[in-house]
Structure 1
Amino acid sequence: MINTIIFDLGAVLIDWNPHYMYRTIFDDEQEMLDFLKNITTSDWNEEQDAGRSLAEGTAALIKEHPEHEKNIRAFYDRWDEMLGEAFYGTVEIFKELKESGRYKIYALTNWSAETFPKAIAKFDFLSWFDGIVVSGTEKMRKPSPQFYNILLNRYNVNPAEALFIDDNYRNILAAENLGITCVHFTSPEQLKEDLKSKNLI
């Protein structure tokens, strides 16, 4: 029986997208996409999510691509401009789950410890969680099994009694390998249907 819900945050409850900021820098959409794909890559950003400091990550990338220094520095200097709004459909589902009183609800997020306080300041619903585990603070990230186990052990969660929601299928597979029931998030509407089908709402 499911008694614990674990949410991912980015692309599930919170809209974060570098395009918002970099569209103010690049006039050419394809040039921007190439920069994000080849310079400020997801793999590079995930190193900061895993605990590397923003200053260290920025310096390392500038050393590798000195011709892009200005645009690389903008990634974290103007990070706030990448932080969009909440996905309110998902927030409503979260609220319904919370108000039911049936579940402990946690967040497990890949996020830099240095930028996460900005999300805390912006989104009141983050205070609804019974606990939040942030990769940058723990210096490890999804899909590492050890990262999931931090949450399971810290909050005494039985994986067989937990449901995990994430938009990244890589992270879903890792959770399933630990015996956690999962929902691969694609939209609030799909999430609601999946939760209904499992008799969780």
Structure 2
Amino acid sequence: MTVPRPSPPCPRPIRRALLAGALVFAVAGCGFFSEPDHRPLTVHSPAVAVPRAAECPPSGVRVDAGRVDAAMGLRAMTLTLTNCSGRPYRLNGHPSVRVLDEKGAALTGVRTVQGTDQVPMAPEDPGAHPLTLDPGESARAALYWRMAAENGTYLKVVPQPGRAAVNVRPPETLDIGPENTLGTTAWTSPF
């Protein structure tokens, strides 16, 4: 009877490369390298009026929220503002955002701030600059917060001071609660 000989072990550099590749695939599967989901929002609830994805609100802009990206207690979500009117839409600054519960009431104790420097581990805010969106063009802003126990169901978004508010229901709830800060980045160029 012939006993098969074990194959020689991989050289150390090859083993390291294989382990690094496996780690990249494992981390990518956890969503750390995933892009925010920009699909239109079509979920509705009688508690808060949310425009349908195909409708253009009287404000002339539609705001959609991407999925929550979570890593090490830091939460991130992308807001996409689309000019659905027939004329240019001007932006300059940060969105004003309020987190609402399932009945449409504002979550108490959640502070919204312009910029991200008050949210630990959040990326740097690119800063505000004037944008003009032609019909059909979009801009985006990001929201950052630290994980907490309470859940927010809706967002009330004012694109900039003096503009009409738009209600948005994200695809998932925001685990943000009392004594928490929601940081917003400025609107960035069309993508």
Q: Shorter-chain TM-score category?
A: under 0.3
Specify which structure has the higher proportion of helix: 1
Report the TM-score when normalising by structure 2: 0.21
Specify which structure has the higher proportion of strand: 2
Rg (Cα) greater in structure: 2
